[in-house]
């Protein structure tokens, strides 16, 4: 289901939705899971347990005005 949400956002005709940053945060840590997320339209992939510094760095990369 989350893959479908990412696909729909990316295909939206509304610019603000089509370009919203999406980070996958999941317990699925296989390389195929990373590929699946990125192919669905996620901008980044972080596996659990979450490293808060990694999450913050990713957010700053995707939203540079923070």
| Beta carbons within 8 Å of 61's beta carbon, 6+ residues apart | 44
Residue 26: per-residue pLDDT: 87
Domains in the chain, CATH or no CATH each:
2-62 (3.40.50.2300)
- The tens digit of pLDDT for each residue in 16-59 reads 889 999 999 988 777 788 888 999 999 999 999 999 999 999 99
Torsions phi, psi for 45 (to 5 deg): -135, 125
List the one residue out of 4, 50, 8 whose CA is nearest residue 25: 50
- pTM value is 0.81
């Amino acid at each position: 289901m989350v893959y479908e949400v990412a696909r729909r956002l990316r295909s939206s005709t509304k610019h603000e939705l089509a370009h919203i940053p999406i980070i996958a945060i999941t317990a699925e840590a296989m390389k195929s899971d990373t590929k699946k997320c990125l192919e669905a339209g996620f901008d980044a992939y972080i596996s659990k347990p979450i490293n808060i510094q990694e999450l913050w760095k990713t957010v700053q990369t995707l939203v540079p005005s923070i």
